[in-house]
Structure 1
Amino acid sequence: MAFTGDIMNPAAFWQNGPSPGAFYNFPGNSSSYGPINHTVQDFKAYSAQPITTTTTVIGVKFNGGCVVAGDMLGSYGSLARFRDCPRVTKVNDLILLGNGGDYADYQYLKDIIEQKIIDEQCIGDGLQLKPKSLHCWLTRVLYNKRSKMDPLWSNYIVAGMQDGEPFLGTVDKLGTAYEDAVVATGLGAYMATPLLRDAADKGPLDQEAAKALVRKCMEVLFYRDARSFWRYQLGVVTAAGVTIEEPEELKADWTLAHMIEMV
């Protein structure tokens, strides 16, 4: 049977059917907010705020390396939802990376850094990424993202060994960066930093003293920070390499709780 219609302007297969590249308009859907009135790009959006967040991460420099610690809680708003969120990571034999803030953004950037290390190993020239290089790279990435109004809602601590000397620096979500002997992000910037600086000002720390100081700060934060957790990670970087210890657990003592009064 010969085709009798207009081959250049064929009729629709059914009334109000889908046209190529468009959403189907359901019968009776005359709302201007229906899918037929929008493209796929109209529905693409970025989250305007962090969703699953982590709190303080602490870094301390001692005479031979650095210690980094962070608890393992991922909070869904005010809900202590995820109890196993490691955020102290070995980058290579010279670098430890700690994170506080949005956990998804940390995972995204962590994947990129890991791929950089793989690419570096594939070159096989014997060179390794150094902590100052990673610290500088993070400032560029985070500043670039916030300039596009799509920031990575995370703060980072970079600890490592640079030419035989310990290095400790931090970068926030705006790309603001600095180096110091002690670093704390989140609420720890207010509650742990005074403890860290007081200990550092008394003289050079050795590795065991630095670890004891960090443990004390994690205990203080557990009592004072509603988003902290009693289970935390502790990592150490020295000239011998990077070590991330098994998660430690705080032994809380609430015997004074009955003395607390609401004012």
Structure 2
Amino acid sequence: MNHLPEVWGRPRNDVYGAYDHSYLQGSHPMQHTQQPIVTGTSVIALKFNGGVVIAADNLASYGSLARFTDVERLKQVGTHTVVGAGGDISDMQHLYEKLLDSLIIKEEYQNDGHSLRASHIYRYLSRVLYHRRCKFDPLWNTILVAGWDDGKPFLASADLLGTTFSSPALATGFGAHLAVPLLRRVCPDENAVKSLTKEKAIETIEECMKVLFYRDARSLNKYSMAVITGEGVEQVPLSGEGKEKVHVEWKKDITLENQSWKFAEGIRGYGAQTV
């Protein structure tokens, strides 16, 4: 036997060969994420007559440090859907690059002329989040799924507990407190969606992003926006069935213009003012 203290009780390597440590791997406890480290803030979305607009800024914060300023938190999934995620960036990357990409690849293997719609992606993600919650190892994200489904715009959210919710105006993070009131001002319910134009919806989203930049310390003045619209039905030649035509318009690296903090000089108590 090898009598060195660190290997007491183990066979000698020069006689029996190198010791196999693989059996020890099962004795280590599984470690779960206890709190998010690098995080993204709000994602906001709004339905309008004929589509959905969704936006998220490009900042990933390391605690209170604005560490990464080029992180894309919106992802197009298939032809009908755009997903936006707030919360832990590593968990978001797991959802996007491992789960959703694999899902779309498997779907494309079928090559049957059909695509996963927004409701399909949403149901899949909500069940993934609930499954991880049941394992006491949640994915620390709140997601918005925007897209086109069954001839009409689709918008819904799911959080790390698997809680699901649908509304014509949705936001995650601080956007749920700061942006949703502004969104509901122009679209208070489903009936108002029919009278809301695409231009007005985009203008409202841009105004909300400006408010979030000023009021949310974890936001950035650079963001991305996606506009999903339906364009009728296209006939599939082989099957003769109808296939929805969906257009996703991307606007990336949008920068808030003419924005500065000069207005703060007029606020009582700001800087070196005498109160």
Report the TM-score range of the alignment, normalised by the length of the smaller protein. 0.7 to 0.9
- Deviations 1:179-220, CA, capped at 9 Å, x for gaps: 110000100101100000011149421111111110000000
Q: How far 1:22 moved relative to its partner?
A: 4.8
* CA distance in structure 2 between the partners assigned to 1:246 and 1:150 by the alignment: 33
Partner residue of 2:131 out of 129, 144, 153: 144
Determine what percentage of the aligned residue pairs are the same residue.
40
1:40 Cα deviation after fit = 6.5
Asked whether 1:253 is paired with 2:260, we answer yes
Contact 1:54–1:74, Cα closer than 8 Å, also in 2: yes
Q: Which residue of 2 aligns with 1:34?
A: none
TM-score (norm 2): 0.81
Q: What residue number does 1:220 align with? A: 211
Task: Report the alpha carbon displacement of residue 139 of structure 1 after superposing the two structures with TM.
Answer: 1.4
- Structure-to-structure mapping, 1:85-100, within 5 angstroms: 85-100=71-86
The TM-score normalised by the length of structure 1 is 0.85
3-state SS of 1:246 partner: strand
Paired position in structure 2 for 1:198: 185
1:155 aligned residue (122, 131, 142): 142
Alpha-carbon separation, structure 1, partners of 2:139 and 2:32: 11
Query: Greater relative contact order (Cα 8 A, min sep 6): structure 1 or 2?
Result: 1
Q: Distance in 1 between matches of 2:216 and 2:87?
A: 14
Shift of 1:163: 1.5
Deviations 1:107-144 (A, max 9, x none): 00112111111111111111111111111111111111
Work out whether 1:115 is the aligned partner of 2:102.
yes
| Partner Cα separation in structure 2 for residue 41 and residue 134 of structure 1 | 37
Q: CA RMSD in A?
A: 2.0
SS at match of 1:245: strand
Instruction: Write 1 or 2 for the structure with the bigger share of strand.
Output: 2
Aligned residues: 238
Higher CA-based Rg: 1
Letter in 2 for 1:162: D
Check whether the contact 1:90–1:244 (CA below 8 A) recurs between aligned residues: no
The 5 A counterparts of 1:175-214 are 175-201=162-188, 203=192, 204-214=195-205
